[in-house]
Chains A and B, each alone.
Chain A
Amino acid sequence: SQQGEEDPQALSIQEGENATMNCSYKTSINNLQWYRQNSGRGLVHLILIRSNEREKHSGRLRVTLDTSKKSSSLLITASRAADTASYFCATDAYDYKLSFGAGTTVTVRA
């Protein structure tokens, strides 16, 4: 079964609004990473948060990690049309295998 599970499956927002998506996982992790995938393209690494970190920022992205709840959230502020993509969380459980969720598809309407 997949380690990471994103929620919601799909999200539609107006340009300029914020987008929040969540990821839950089952086992202890070393770190959690968020990736973006534009339709039919490869994965772009967005941010990595370590298990001993609670929050991390990168530009318009804010990631939180709650290891007690085994969950993470990705917030995209002031969304743009170019943010339209699928977003995946991937967990690293102290080995080399990244476990991906099924992703959240974000559509930003102009």
Chain B
Amino acid sequence: NAGVMQNPRHLVRRRGQEARLRCSPMKGHSHVYWYRQLPEEGLKFMVYLQKENIIDESGMPKERFSAEFPKEGPSILRIQQVVRGDSAAYFCASSPIKGTGMNTEAFFGQGTRLTVV
């Protein structure tokens, strides 16, 4: 059973380009969470999705960022018109049930390191 798969592992974009980050949850998991980690900081919650639904996007910047988790395929975090401040590691986690409220650990992917030049 493969873990949470994120790709690409590293992504370099020029300012103004679009970045697409993909996350395939663990088999049987239908809940996906995206977190962002700035250098020397902890992870910050961005968005929580279930299949075809955005449940909570309170941690997402209001502009340029969007996320989806279609019925088929991976979850996508999309950043339009990237700026240098978007440079960070973006982690995806999945769980089989809602959040960790049932004392279930969240399984994290290896992350995508985005560098904006």
Contacts and interface: CB of A to CB of B under 8 A. Distances in A.
Interface of A: 2, 4, 30-31, 33, 35, 40-45, 48, 50, 88, 90, 92, 94-103
Interface stretch (B38-46, B61-69, B79-87): B38-46
Nearest to B48: A96
Given A42-B91, A102-B40, A96 B110 contact: no
Given A42-B109, A97-B48, A31 B41 contact: no
A33 B108 CA distance: 13
Contacts of B22: none
Nearest to A88: B42
B25 interface: no
B4 to A, nearest CB: 8
A78 B89 CA distance: 31
Contact of B45 (A30, A48, A88, A99): A99
A97 B45 contact: yes
* Residue from the set A31, A96, A103 with the largest chain B CB neighbour count within 10 Å: A96
Contacts of A100: 35, 42-44
Contact of A43 (B45, B56, B91, B103): B91
Interface residues of B, number: 29
B99 A42 contact: no
A95 B40 contact: no
A-B pairs, 8 with minimum CB distance:
A96-B99, A100-B42, A42-B110, A92-B100, A43-B108, A100-B43, A97-B45, A45-B105
11 contacts: A33-B106, A42-B109, A42-B111, A48-B105, A50-B103, A92-B101, A96-B55, A96-B99, A100-B44, A102-B40, A102-B42
* Residue from the set A31, A98, A99, A103 with the largest chain B CB neighbour count within 10 Å: A98
Nearest to A91: B100
Given A30-B100, A40-B113, 20 more contacts: A4-B42, A30-B103, A35-B108, A42-B111, A43-B108, A45-B107, A48-B105, A88-B43, A96-B31, A96-B55, A97-B59, A97-B99, A98-B33, A98-B43, A98-B93, A98-B106, A100-B42, A100-B44, A102-B40, A102-B41
